[in-house]
Amino acid sequence: MISSVVRASLLRRGVGIRAQSTWTQVKMGPPDAILGITEAFKRDTDPRKMNLGVGAYRTDAGSPFVLDSVTQAENQLLHEKLDKEYLPITGLPQFTQAAAQLAYGSSSPVLDRLAITQSISGTGALRIGGAFVQRFCKGTPTVYVPGPSWGNHKAVFGDCGLTVKPYRYYDAKTRGLDLEGMLEDLSNLPRGQIVLLHACAHNPTGVDPTPDQWARIQSVVEENGHVAFFDMAYQGFATGDTDRDAHALRTFVEAGRAPVVLAQSFAKNMGLYGERVGTFSVVGASRDERARLESQLKILVRPMYSNPPVHGARIAARVLTDPELRSLWLSEVKLMADRIIGMRVALRSRLEKLGSSVAWNHITDQIGMFCFTGLTAAQVDRLAQEFHIYLTRDGRVSMAGITSANVDYLADSIHAVTQ
């Protein structure tokens, strides 16, 4: 404690006295794993360096890709000189209607009883969904996520006041799906839990169930009264076919025996990463229930961010509703998916040509943006230190960072660290 005499002396000499900060007790948080990879990549001056950590599409030249359909839609909107007024709480109706049709199918009978709100991309949709199930699911629900799952799932649901626990999903030995373990875990959960399901292109493993496996998963979810919480961040990006990638969601909804909610994103399949465009929806039992559900979604959204941004929603709505732009977009989605698939084939082929003693069939068995390579943390560290190749220490590779110019170098480097 500084005495009044000392304080007065210090003030006369012009020495300021700073009170102890209110935030002194705030500790430094851990760095983001992906950000750390990007920073290390930027510091590296080797011309061969590769960043395989970031989950954003790149062209075969390694550049960001702005879809032509998006550019044309944006140019149309700019020429129309639209206003910048607030959207309704649940967003742009033309967008949410078109997004619902894309996800559930244009002829789906649930569209007239679907409660839907625009969201701040997929993360925002998950946040709204987490708040919704926390408030309205009976008892104290727990969200069960695949082991492993997207790292942000636990943080988002945890911040909603929900307990988050894993169920078995990935089999490290086969580098495929642990279906029996998954079914056993879901069967043994207390009745009526929230089960998070990746609709397609599972992140981070790239391991998706087959249609027959989805049927078995669906039966267990239904029999145990669980809520199916679908996260669909990659519709069209997995196989190149938006209908095929929505298969799991639509079969659950068509059966109508399990409650279904959906978080939907347009970051990947439309390249609208920075526009933050998505939706959260709940399948209601009737039009009356839909109205009640929508009223509660508005109550949840209003104190979060009042209403969503307009520009990205207008772009997505125009692309989805203009026949020519939609056709162009679907071709571009297939182009992106096909490039990723092509890189999977090229990487596996090169590794096998090198005479690797490791089985690499999982590279092409998996699907979507990411590949769970099976590389150990030590091998990942060697790739960074010796070969200037950066990826997360769980061995996840962002396939979008691979190009025809660097795929052989990557394969040669992986071969070197796995011998």
* Residues belonging to the active site: 150, 231, 268
Q: State how far the alpha carbon of 386 is from the alpha carbons of 344, 380, 389, 396, 402, in Å.
A: 23, 10, 8, 18, 18
CB atoms within 10 A of CB 341: 17
Q: Which residue has the tokens 């789906």?
A: 108
What lies within 8 Å, CB to CB, of 167 at 6+ separation is: 144, 145, 146, 147, 182, 185, 186, 189, 195
Cis amide prior to 204 (ω within 30 degrees): yes
DSSP H or E segment with residue 25: none
Q: Which 8-state DSSP code applies to residue 16? A: -
Integer Cα distance of 363 and 348 in angstroms: 6
| Contact between 268 and 234 (Cβ < 8 Å) | yes
Strands in 2-135 per DSSP E: 50-51, 114-120
Integer Cα distance of 172 and 155 in angstroms: 24
Q: Pull the structure tokens for residue 58.
A: 């790149």
Q: What is the dihedral of CA 266, 272, 275, 278, to 10 degrees?
A: 0
What length is written for the chain? 419
- CB < 8 Å & 24+ apart, contacts of 77-80: 77/311, 77/314, 77/315, 77/318
Integer Cα distance of 407 and 346 in angstroms: 7
What does the DSSP assignment read for 214-268? HHHHHHHHHHTT-EEEEEES-TTTTTS-HHHHTHHHHHHHHHT-S-EEEEEE-TT
